[in-house]
Homo-oligomer: A and B are copies of this chain.
């Protein structure tokens, strides 16, 4: 549970189609705010707000060069999510046979009585 907050922020950051669109774009290479706002026909202030959520969630990093701020996807951005998912899937795999057995032993909602 010590990683609760970073995971909260990461999942929250990805729970928006506009922000996921930005991540998709950035996974193909760095981009400026303008370039990130354009595909979704977003206004710059709105794009900046979304980018701040992504930056707070550790998904993107930015760097100002001259007058242009360039955003990049952090290569390790999705690692906590991947790790969390892997743990769940390992537990699921281990529990699957038990689960199937438990489900099979549950009485049907109707019928199935003699």
Contact = CB atoms under 8 A, between A and B. Distances in A.
Interface of A: 1, 4-5, 7-9, 11-12, 14-17, 20-21, 23-24, 27-30, 63-65, 70, 72-73, 75, 78, 81-82, 84-85, 87-89, 91-92, 94-96, 98-99, 102-103, 106-107, 109
- Counted per complex, copies of this chain come to 2
**A interface secondary structure, majority:** helix
A84 B14 CA distance: 11
26 contacts: A1-B21, A7-B15, A7-B20, A11-B14, A11-B15, A12-B12, A20-B84, A23-B88, A24-B91, A27-B89, A27-B91, A27-B92, A28-B91, A29-B95, A29-B98, A30-B99, A30-B103, A64-B109, A73-B88, A75-B92, A75-B96, A78-B88, A78-B89, A81-B81, A81-B85, A85-B85
